[in-house]
Structure 1
């Protein structure tokens, strides 16, 4: 097993809330339907099955979120291999208590 917890930095949803700003790179790796059901305003949807298509030059960290944290960990592994600095959001949208856009 890949030493995931040692290699992929992570933050809580509370920590993410304090970092949100218009310039943050926050990728929501859930399906488009999940994203439409409610997402963080600053998040861009890039489903896990398309994460390998991400090719944007950035020196900023990329924050990754999904529903529970499992898919974002997978995405983090893939983007780390491509040389990006990534940070996984532990607990995902299940733990998010801030405002969401979309949904019911």
Structure 2
């Protein structure tokens, strides 16, 4: 019985760690760094919050593609252009970077702290 509990605990720890560990090959920037990049026309900006969150407070250069729709709507984005992703706190955008990486996007950046830090 103790062995089963240890295995279950290990699986739980791995699951949680996988959700919070930054995606390999993804750049992480602060909102101050984002402010320097925001006018760059060669970058695509994606906000993965819900439409309600997005409409309450947004950065004009960002297009809203909610996280739950990202995999289906990613074909509207260029895999070759740098993609900067933001959410409310950085958690959903971190998850979004994993989705984009799996879909073959080349240059992905996550905004640390999200809109809460903006």
Say whether the fold is shared (TM-score over 0.5). yes
Aligned pair count reads: 96
Secondary structure at the residue paired with 2:116?
Answer: helix
Specify which of 34, 40, 53 is matched with residue 34 of structure 1. Answer: 53
- Can you give the 5+ residue segments of structure 2 that lack an aligned partner in the other structure? 1-16
User: Which residue of 2 is the match for residue 15 of structure 1?
Assistant: 33
| 8 Å CA contact retained: 1:22, 1:42 | no
| 8 Å CA contact retained: 2:23, 2:94 | no
Q: C-alpha displacement at 1:58, in angstroms?
A: 3.9
Q: C-alpha displacement at 1:31, in angstroms?
A: 0.2
RMSD over equivalenced CA pairs, Å: 1.6
Q: Which moved more, 1:75-84 or 1:21-30?
A: 21-30
User: Which residue of 1 is the match for residue 90 of structure 2?
Assistant: 69
Point out the structure with the larger helix share. Answer: 2
- Can you give the 5+ residue segments of structure 1 that lack an aligned partner in the other structure? 97-104
The C-alpha deviation readout for 1:80-99, integer Å capped at 9, x for no partner, is: 11111210000000000xxx
Q: Whole-Å Cα distance in 2 between the matches of residues 6 and 36 of structure 1? A: 28
The C-alpha deviation readout for 1:50-86, integer Å capped at 9, x for no partner, is: 0102113342210000000000000000001111121
